[in-house]
């Protein structure tokens, strides 16, 4: 069962802060997350942007009460990918009208959406959240959310038909974008970086790679993110958080990765490595694939690649 993720840090109401002898308006160690909701400033600053957003969603849940979160807000609560720190909090109103107040956008409910609730906080279901974001996010990001939702649902022994979910929503918004995401989504991709990279690789005209292929070389079993069998070339998408933060553990992990890559390179024709920025800038990823011996097999999709130039969280 998909559970709601808790706030990444403790949130304090004004009353709770004052009961502790702390006046939020004059205590520099506190930061306001939402009107009347505070957190420790040092803890807030240490959070990555997507966790700050999750904390803001939980602060909105405290203030608004009894609401259903949707879109990026639901994604944050459900542990799906969130890119950066979105500006708005998103709510679903099944019977009301679409509206906006402050940093809150209320989406009018069209058709049926599943709801997940835990500890008094409710959000649209994994499948509905993925479909909503496939309609509205830039395609590469929508694919990353859909991949993650499929992966989660598969791990829970559940399957989903995105087309059936979309039909129940009774809206044609983002129909073409959703169709592309539904056609290309897979539970095999293991990270947002892999999903975004896969989109760019296809738009650059390269042959679709096999995903998460294992190799038994020199007495070891290794796995690569991408593999082009015809060229005997592997690819790796490096993402944030790949190595532990503890220096000793990080050094050990780097050494293991170095030996693994050397072992693979002795058995493959070549291996390309790239990171999140390479995929978003497009040409660095293209150059690394080309240097590894790969060549496009179809024309570039310039219109799709143009969506990568200024990718940012949806406003």
β-strand pairing of 270-275 with 233-238: parallel
- CA-only gyration radius of the chain, Å: 22
**pLDDT confidence bin for 245, thresholds 50/70/90:** very low
Tens of pLDDT, residue by residue over 2-12, are 589 999 999 99
- Give the range among 14-28, 101-115, 229-243 with minimum mean pLDDT: 229-243
Averaged pLDDT of the chain? 89
Task: Count CB neighbours of 104 within 10 A.
Answer: 16
pLDDT over 60 at 243, yes or no: no
Q: Does the pTM exceed 0.85?
A: yes
- Quick one: average pLDDT of 205-223? 87
pLDDT over 70 at 253, yes or no: no
What order of strands is seen across the sheet that includes strand 37-40?
Answer: 12-13, 37-40, 30-34
Bridge partners for 223 per DSSP: 214
Task: Please answer whether residues 148 and 198 qualify as being in contact, where contact means their C-beta atoms are separated by less than 8 angstroms.
Answer: no
Task: Please answer whether residues 311 and 290 qualify as being in contact, where contact means their C-beta atoms are separated by less than 8 angstroms.
Answer: no
Task: Give the torsion through C-alpha atoms of 192, 194, 196, 202, to 10 deg.
Answer: -160
Dihedral sign, CA of 193, 197, 198, 199?
positive
What residue spans of the chain are helical by DSSP H? 14-19, 41-46, 49-64, 71-78, 126-136, 139-155, 162-169, 175-184, 192-203, 247-267, 276-281, 283-291, 302-305
Tens of pLDDT, residue by residue over 118-166, are 989 999 999 999 999 999 999 999 999 999 999 999 988 888 888 888 8
Those residues with Cβ within 8 angstroms of residue 39's Cβ, 6 or more apart along the chain or in another chain: 9, 10, 11, 12, 30, 31, 33, 55
- Quick one: average pLDDT of 18-26? 83
**pLDDT confidence bin for 230, thresholds 50/70/90:** very high
pLDDT in the model for residue 259: 67
Task: Give the torsion through C-alpha atoms of 78, 80, 83, 86, to 10 deg.
Answer: -20
- Quick one: average pLDDT of 239-262? 59
- Is the model more confident about 248 or about 92? 92
């Amino acid at each position: 069962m998909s559970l709601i993720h808790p706030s990444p840090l403790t949130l304090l109401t004004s009353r709770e802060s004052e009961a502790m002898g702390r006046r939020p308006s004059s205590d520099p160690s506190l930061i306001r997350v939402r009107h009347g909701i505070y957190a420790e400033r040092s803890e807030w600053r240490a959070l990555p942007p997507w966790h700050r957003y999750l904390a803001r969603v939980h602060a909105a849940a405290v203030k608004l009460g009894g609401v259903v979160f949707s879109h990026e807000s639901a994604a944050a609560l459900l542990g799906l990918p969130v890119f950066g720190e979105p500006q708005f909090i998103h709510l679903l109103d099944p019977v009301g009208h679409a509206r906006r107040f402050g940093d809150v956008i209320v989406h009018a409910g069209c058709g049926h959406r599943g709801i997940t609730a835990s500890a008094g906080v409710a959000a649209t279901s994994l499948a509905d959240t993925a479909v909503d974001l496939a309609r509205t996010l830039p395609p590469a990001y929508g694919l990353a959310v859909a991949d993650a939702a499929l992966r989660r649902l598969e791990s829970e022994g559940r399957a989903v038909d995105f087309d059936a979910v979309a039909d129940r929503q009774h809206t044609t918004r983002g129909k073409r974008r959703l169709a592309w995401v539904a056609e290309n989504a897979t539970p095999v991709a293991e990270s947002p970086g892999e999903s975004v990279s896969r989109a760019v690789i296809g738009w650059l005209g390269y042959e679709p790679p096999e995903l998460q292929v294992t190799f038994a070389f020199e007495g070891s079993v290794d796995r690569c993110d991408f593999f082009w069998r015809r060229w005997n070339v592997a690819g790796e998408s490096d993402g944030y958080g790949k190595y532990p933060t503890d220096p000793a553990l990080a050094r050990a992990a780097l050494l293991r990765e170095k030996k693994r890559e050397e072992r693979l390179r002795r058995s493959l024709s070549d291996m390309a490595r790239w990171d999140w920025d390479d995929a978003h800038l497009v040409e660095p990823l293209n150059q690394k694939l080309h240097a590894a011996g790969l060549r496009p097999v179809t024309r570039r999709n310039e219109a799709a690649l143009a969506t990568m130039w200024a990718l940012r969280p949806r406003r």
